[in-house]
Structure 1
Amino acid sequence: MKILSTISNVACLILLSAALFTSCKQTSDTKTTNTVKDSTNFKLYSKNVQDSFFISVQLPLAYPEQPKKKYPVVVLTDANFYYPMLAPVLQQYEQGGLLPPMILVGIGYKSFQAMDSLRQRDYLYPKAIPSDEMKAPGGGQNFYRFITGELLPYINKNYPTMSTERTLLGHSFGGYFTLYSLLEQLNTKRADFSGFVAASPSLWYNNFYLSRIPEQLKTSAVTDTLSLHLTVGQLEDPKWSVAPVNDLSSMLKTDKRLKFSSTIYTDLDHMDVGLISYIRGLQKIYNK
């Protein structure tokens, strides 16, 4: 596993996000007004979850000049927290030629507080066991079905998407959900996502339930069509965070069915890992 010292890079990216968010968001809103669905923010009710989600969509800077072109789709969990940071960075990276133009789809809740309480309901599967010391109903499967059966069809219908080029991003419980989605996709023989970025995933959940991914990958018909970027911060808990990511990485890195990469970020703790993981993960997946 590659080890990088990136604290200064993360600080710069966050400052860049804060400085550019207002101007870039205004640019995005202006360019998407009266084009596709006339809005970049909407509420979408899920029959699977039986709740509404607040969706944010950012079209690439290239869209006004190339409206008929189809673009890769990046689906972001924990959007209340990460979307305001990641959205302007993706546009800036597109403008600088560091990433290709892509459509960003953020899945959020009605408020930051709601996200903080409901992500436990939506991101974890199966139901929590006593050793988890938490109450999680195991709604991850319902949330997965919302994304694959309700959200993605809506996005495909209303936006110029490349249905074969979609990446799912998640951090912490969201990172767990990203890996669970990979497992579920293998189990159901679906092809909803071609890329997965899991930052500091909560691999300890339900007695390391996701440790079955390597075996499921071996029995799948997948060749080399899937990419996974897995990360953790070196300052995170050595036993419950760093070691499980190392163990899973050791099992996955030799499997040629998966385009796999992993990184331990030195000097970074749990909450520092998400943004830099998303950017670097997208670069590894799309800068071929």
Structure 2
Amino acid sequence: MKLKSAIIINLLSLLLVISGCGDSHTTPKKESSSSIKEFTCYSNSVKDTFYITVQLPLNYEKEPKKRYPVVLLTDANFYFPMLAPIVHQYEKGGLLPPLILVGVGYKSFELMNSLRVRDYLYPQAIPSDEMKAPGGGQRYYQFITNDLLPKIDSNYRTEMNTRTLLGHSFGGYFSLFAFQQQMSGKRNDFKGFVSASPSLWYNNNYLFKLPDQLKRTLLKDTVSVFLSVGSFETPKEWTIQPVENMAKQLDNKHISKLKLSTIVYNDLDHMDVGLISFIRGMEKMYAKPAQ
């Protein structure tokens, strides 16, 4: 048990730095380039302020009538500075369509660990988790769906039916939890979920109720899930095996309209999996139909 906690604590010690959303408390911040917008957003559900960074497509201003898919990125303080230029470079090379990348982050690196534990997990941690987590995932989900997404849609030219959610580790857990909440609420906020190295061991495998729920729920539209893990992640019983088991349960003939992609990356450890999964997941979500 202590090993699995050490994995998370060690990797989370490395993560995140800045960002901000907006309701009536929105405060614009400086723009680092013409395609980057930054602002803060206070959440009534979480009772805290988030830092949101938005990267617009390269030709956003030149094509004023065009609308774009939205990709929402958790752990943005860490991942946004790496992923944003890749998204633009892939756009230039025709490997991805033009996308609006939205990063959700926190005020500082120092605050990141406790706040992401607060926000990404649900329900409250149990003793076997050997960690303290209040289980704020539902409140964070409400912030994303009720506050942030409408704000993004009102300020930018978005395609509301092509959103994708990206998450790694605890963020990967939240990505699948958001899918579960979306089904429970009969919502359609996201069409794609990337879950990289999700912490499926949390709360006695709580998220393994997802496959059974999918069997009982008729999805209106096709939903894509990209599930990944690294072959060097340890201990395997807490990292690789749960992902493989989840994939097997999701790959079920009784689950309709679920497009599942699963990969175990050779020679990759936990912290290597996030960025490559986001890129591959977006390629899967937005691949052009075969001619």
Whether the 8 Å contact between 2:161 and 2:191 is mirrored in structure 1 is yes
User: Normalized per residue, which structure has more helix?
Assistant: 1
Unaligned runs of 5+ in 2: 1-30
- Map of 2:287 onto structure 1: 287
Runs of at least 5 residues in structure 1 that lack an aligned partner in the other structure = 1-27, 33-38
Equivalent residues of 1:253, 1:261 under 8 A apart: no
User: Could you tell which deviates more after superposition, 221-230 or 69-78?
Assistant: 221-230
Residue 49 (structure 2) pairs with residue 52 (structure 1): yes
Q: What is aligned with 1:21? A: none
Q: Distance in 2 between matches of 1:277 and 1:146?
A: 25
State whether residues 218 and 256 of structure 2, in contact with CA within 8 Å, keep that contact through their aligned partners in structure 1.
no
1:45 aligned counterpart, secondary structure:
strand
Residue in 1 that maps onto 2:138 = 141
Structure 2 residue matching 1:31: 3-state secondary structure? coil
Question: What SS does the corresponding residue of 1:137 show, helix, strand or coil?
Answer: coil
After superposition, where does 1:126-205 map in structure 2 within 5 Å?
126-205=123-202
Q: Is the 8 A contact 2:172 2:195 kept in 1?
A: yes
Quick check: 1:125–1:141 contact (8 Å CA) kept in 2? yes
Q: Output the TM-score relative to the length of structure 1.
A: 0.86
Deviations along 1:164-212, one digit per CA (max 9) or x if unpaired, are 0100000000000000000011111110100000000000000000001
Measure the CA separation in 2 of the matches of 1:211 and 1:145: 22
The aligned residue for residue 35 of structure 1 is none
Q: Secondary structure at the match of 2:34?
A: helix
Q: Return the alpha-carbon distance in structure 2 between the equivalents of residues 114 and 79 of structure 1.
A: 13
Matched, 1:43 2:46: no
Equivalent position of 2:263 in the other structure: 263
Q: Could you tell me how far 1:29 is from its partner in structure 2?
A: 4.6
Q: 1:65 to 1:187 in 2, by over 3 A?
A: same
Aligned length: 255
Q: Which has the higher contact order (CA 8 A, sep 6+)?
A: 1
What SS does the corresponding residue of 2:227 show, helix, strand or coil?
Answer: strand
* Shift in Å, 1:30: 4.0
Equivalent residue number for residue 251 of structure 2: 253
Contact 1:224 1:256 in 2 (8 A): no
Distance 2:204 2:245 in 1: 14
Q: Is the 8 A contact 1:166 1:194 kept in 2?
A: yes
Are 1:98 and 2:95 counterparts?
A: yes
RMSD: 1.2
What is the identity, as a one-letter code, of the residue corresponding to 2:200?
L
8 A Cα contact 2:219 2:256, kept in partner: no
Q: What's the counterpart of residue 122 of structure 1?
A: 119
Tell me, what secondary structure is at the counterpart of 1:62? coil
Q: State the 1:113 CA deviation.
A: 1.7
Report how far residue 115 of structure 1 moved.
1.4
Give the structure-2-normalised TM-score. 0.86
Q: CA deviation at 1:66?
A: 1.0
Aligned equivalents of 1:256 and 1:267: distance in 2? 33
Which of 105, 108, 115 pairs up with 2:105? Answer: 108
- Sequence identity (%): 60
CA contact (8 A) 1:233 1:265 kept: yes
The offset of 1:122, in angstroms, is 0.2
The CA deviation at 1:67 is 2.1
The answer (yes or no) to whether the contact 1:223–1:256 under 8 Å persists in 2 is no
State the AA in 2 paired with 1:269. D
Whether contact under 8 Å (1:77, 1:106) holds in the other structure is yes
Return the alpha-carbon distance in structure 2 between the equivalents of residues 188 and 270 of structure 1.
Answer: 32
The 3-state SS of whatever aligns with 1:162 is: coil
